[in-house]
Structure 1
Amino acid sequence: MPVLPTAPGIARRHVHQTLTEWHLPHHSDDAQLIVSELVTNATKAATVPPPRHSRDAPRLDVVYLGLFRTLATLVIEVWDGNPGCPVLAPATWDGENGRGLHIVTALTSRWGVRRPPSGGKAVWCELPVSRPGAPR
């Protein structure tokens, strides 16, 4: 998706629709919050080099969202073109920033960063999934 202020909202709607189709609507709220944080971080960090064929060609930075399902886990992955790793910074009670990765840590079983051969980074996390009504 293009790096625009609307990207987190587009990503949340996509997650809601996908989890509904996968019969996981009971995980939608947590997944939407996680995706919103990761896409927001990615849009702030996103950089893509200009096309090789023209230095003057306009460019639009992008981020990619991937959702993958196993029997026990929903994997969420967000890629951006910036190779810099996200940092779990101390959050203050009155700060306007710094809570995103704390939210991801609290809601997921684990998260990390991988470096695709194409460049940039992909921040991923695993959200345990269960049947409706089963303990989480």
Structure 2
Amino acid sequence: MQESRRFSQRLSATLRGARLARRLTVQQLTDWGWDHEDESARTAALLVAELAANAVQHGRVPGRDFLLALLLTRSVTGPATLRIEVADCRGERLPGPAPAAPPGAAEEHGRGLLIVESLATRWGVEPRHPSGKTVWAEIQLSAHSPS
């Protein structure tokens, strides 16, 4: 048997919206039974922070929001999986694979996808109809959450 829960929220494509996305993620995981200090909650918050910041910086269309969606899937036989989706309106600006070498210490940008790749079990990007893209990442959540 498998249980799924979903949360989604449109947020302004601003730095404030990106910060709110991170906070909403931690709160939603807390509502679903994970402690806000749990490593899973911290990892999810960091992934959302990176994906939302990318949506604001690279996917922003003036006057348009970005969408945060969280999908929790639990089965009786295995760990829970959290799928994080951040959708924006810029379908022509697709993220590529993380660079082979990390950016130099003096570079201000370019580490986001390296962080996503290192923390996520899987991640990718999908086109979004009628325009835009959804960048997603999945992680397995810690098993000590209450049922």
CA contact (8 A) 1:67 1:76 kept: yes
Does structure 1 conserve the Cα–Cα contact (< 8 Å) formed by 2:87 and 2:128?
no
The structure with more radius of gyration: 1
User: What TM-score results when the alignment is normalised by the length of structure 2?
Assistant: 0.77
Partner of 1:132: 144
Please state whether the residue corresponding to 1:70 is helix, strand or coil: strand
1:86-116 per-residue CA deviation (whole Å, 9 max, x = no partner) reads 1223422402111111111111110001112
CA RMSD of aligned residues (A): 1.6
Matched, 1:6 2:16: yes
Matched, 1:98 2:106: no
Does residue 75 (structure 1) correspond to residue 87 (structure 2)? The answer is no
Asked whether the equivalents of residues 46 and 61 of structure 1 are also in contact (C-alpha less than 8 Å), the reply is no
Q: Secondary structure at the match of 1:78?
A: strand
Preserved CA contact (<8 Å) 2:13 2:60: no
Taking structure 1 as the reference length, what is the TM-score of the superposition?
0.83
Aligned to 2:31: 21
Post-superposition Cα deviations, 1:37-83, rounded to whole Å, max 9, x if no partner, equal 000000112344xxxxxxxxxx6121100000001210000001111
Work out whether 1:86 is the aligned partner of 2:95.
Answer: yes
Instruction: Provide the residue aligned with 1:54 in structure 2.
Output: none
Identical aligned pairs, as a percentage? 36
Aligned residues of 2:126 and 2:134 also touching (Cα < 8 A): yes
Query: Unpaired segments of 5 or more residues in structure 2?
Result: 1-10, 75-79
Instruction: Please give the alpha-carbon distance, in whole angstroms, between the structure 2 residues aligned to 1:77 and 1:96.
Output: 24
Highest relative contact order (Cα 8 Å, sep 6+), 1 or 2? 2
Q: Matches of 2:89 and 2:49 in 1, distance apart? A: 18
SS of equivalent to 2:15: coil
